Structure 1
């Protein structure tokens, strides 16, 4: 039987990929008690960056939001792996940290972060509402414009 979250993903037309293995010396997630601390996810699709560049330097706000949304899909893939495939074990999206690679004059970091925040709300409903930080930086791994880390609460 398909769970509620899987059914919601299907309604939204979202396919969650397999969780991506780390590319350096870290683990994708650390669970302690009911909390899952997720390593930063970048906008990978098919194992390659779907977006590269800087916000305000060739990439539009809409590009940034789409990149943030894809980071969110990859976060969902990671938490799904932690939950042994059962996304209904997610009890709360607690916090998201959104890093935005941008030119010095770009100031719409919160609007970029809405790409992932809106996704979490659409997929998880009220339990997808979360605390958040959105910060600018000069560069991110593989030249991507957005990276998102997360903190989730899960049921045993």
Structure 2
């Protein structure tokens, strides 16, 4: 099954890739690696904002991380001229969670994105990862995830 077919089977509709809002670019390809800038937990409905463990539940936060994953897929597709079949492997995800003072289940939140990468890319979606709790994320979003992807 193609990656595009898996995305369709999962019922995902990839959005238009987000444009940069400052002095950076959404993705950079160098050799066989594509580095994707951090993608926020936003979607057409406005996304998931807030502090995890305070006004965002762990379950909502995992959904927010999945939103980040959908946005990463849109950027990867853009970087590859629309051809996701050129993905060789998701190499690494860097996950950031706007966490409340007592919230420590940061890795469980980022699993929302990690699980999506495996659902779409199978074994090629298994990756190294960082999962970090932070005081604040841009525009108050609950989660942000960046990625490094090997491509052909």
- TM-score scaled by length of structure 2: 0.97
Unaligned runs of 5+ in 2: none
Q: Does 1:154 align with 2:145?
A: no
Cα distance in 1 for residues equivalent to 2:124 and 2:46: 29
Q: 1:116 aligns with which of 113, 120, 134?
A: 113
Cα distance in 2 for residues equivalent to 1:104 and 1:31: 37
Q: 1:106 aligns with which of 103, 107, 123?
A: 103
Displaced runs of 4+ in structure 1, greater than 2 A? none
Contact 1:49/1:142, CA 8 A, preserved across alignment: no
Aligned residue pair count? 152
Cα distance in 1 for residues equivalent to 2:12 and 2:18: 17
Q: Does 1:86 align with 2:83?
A: yes
RMSD: 1.0
- TM-score scaled by length of structure 1: 0.95
Cα distance in 2 for residues equivalent to 1:107 and 1:71: 20
Report the Cα offset of residue 49 of structure 1. 3.5
Report the Cα offset of residue 58 of structure 1. 1.3
Instruction: Tell me the residue number matched to 1:11.
Output: 9
1:39-59 C-alpha deviation (Å, 9 max, x unpaired): 00001212x641111001111
Instruction: Tell me the residue number matched to 2:21.
Output: 23
Q: 1:70 aligns with which of 50, 67, 72?
A: 67
Contact 1:49/1:144, CA 8 A, preserved across alignment: no
Cα distance in 1 for residues equivalent to 2:36 and 2:146: 6
Cα distance in 1 for residues equivalent to 2:133 and 2:6: 32
Q: Secondary structure at the match of 1:14?
A: coil
